[in-house]
Amino acid sequence: MKVLLIIEGTYPWYRGGVSEWVYRYLSHLQEFDFTILQIATDEFQGLNPSEALYPLTDNINDFIRISPPELGSDTSAHLEHWYDQALSNHTLSDSEFDLVHVTNTGFAGWLGSRLANQIDTPLLLTEHAIYWKEIEMGAVALECGYKIPEGSRDKINMMSSFKELALYTYKNAEQVVTVSESNIPYQKELGATDIIYIPNGIPASWLRSEKSRADRPVIGWVGRCAEMKNPLAFFELVDGFKGHSITPKFRMLLSDANENELEKQVRSVCKDYPEVECIWNQPAKNFFSDFDFLSITSHNESQPLVMLEALAHKALPVGFRVGDLTEKYGLVSPPGSSLEGLAGKITRLWNNRLHFNRYVNTRFERVKENHTWEQIFSDYETLMKNMSRVEEAAEE
């Protein structure tokens, strides 16, 4: 079975939830042959995939990179020009794919829809993030490296353009899959129907049945140094523990996101907080086992992969309610609450160790039952075979 996978940025160079998902997806679906079409800025295009953070799996037959479009006042015209340019340098329209799979409703979604229609191939959408919602919440760049304009009117126009892209992708997708239950209302609002929920996951080997804990809790933060992840809020949480009965250890695991001004600011603030250990560009897996809590400070989220990775190691996610970070998975406060108040909730739970352990174990079991990659990509394999032209040919 031949699949065209269209992604934006991330894999195989950058750490993050979508990169991890793509790598696990490719690793588990070994029976399929993949062509990857990546939409990426020049910064990504100058990198060698064979020297990347994630390995390229053996089932990748071709890895093609193209630049994102330059949008203007006439979005449709700019997109059509971009489409013609992209296809003039490659032979994708002449290729025999059994399925086109896109990972968002942005540029990848539009391009996948347009190409799937041209080559008469089923389109599968797995939506990881609502791009127009991220722009509304203050994102400064998209995964492909595309910069969001700073002016308020320009942002409104950009948000409107990405709503149009989403509507077009939903209309053309034979199947819409969401990784986030919290995104379903936004998807339905723009016309998505018959949405399937297939969540994010973790390797089953990460699940820990036992966990030893010290007297002082370790509170971690893991993510890209990006505005949407709101890393500076972690230092406010650190301040929130002043005057409380516990003195946690704090550890931040940050990775580059090409948001240079924010990175400079975070590095500067780190120097003013000697109690916070700041670690850059290291695999989070090596540190989760030490965490008792994981702070999630994002302005907007779908289903944070780090939330599941933390729970697999019996570290409790904490933060304001955002995306799928709810009471089902963590200790949360309503949006707009104080971080000092959240610190108080963490303190009270930690000081009642029996209740804390029960609270964590309940959420650990939810991850164990519903969120392993093995189970998730078995579902994808069945879905993709049912959708593909291979299945249709077999029935004939």
Under the banding of pLDDT at 50, 70 and 90, the label for residue 389 is: low
Q: Where are the domains of the chain?
A: 2-201+372-395, 204-370
Q: How confident is the model at residue 17 (pLDDT cuts 50, 70, 90)?
A: confident
Q: Is residue 394's pLDDT more than 60?
A: no
Q: 2-201+372-395 belongs to which homologous superfamily?
A: Glycogen Phosphorylase B; (3.40.50.2000)
* Contact (Cβ atoms closer than 8 angstroms) between residue 276 and residue 297: no
Average pLDDT (367-389) is 95
Lowest mean pLDDT among 147-161, 268-282, 322-336: 147-161
Would you say residue 55 has pLDDT above 70? yes
Please indicate whether the domains covering 2-201+372-395 and 204-370 agree at the CATH topology level.
Answer: yes
Mean pLDDT, to the nearest integer, of 165-186? 97
Number of neighbouring beta carbons within 10 Å of residue 14: 21
pLDDT tens, 66-105? 888 887 778 889 899 999 887 777 777 667 899 999 999 9
Distances (CA, A) of 127 to 156, 183, 210, 255, 288: 22, 9, 34, 23, 27
The residue type of 210 is: E
Residue corresponding to tokens 């890393």: 231
Task: Quote the CA–CA distance of 78 and 72 in Å, as a whole number.
Answer: 7
Q: Is 84 exposed, middle or buried (0-12, 13-18, 19+ CB in 10 A)?
A: exposed
Assign a CATH topology to domain 204-370: Rossmann fold (3.40.50)
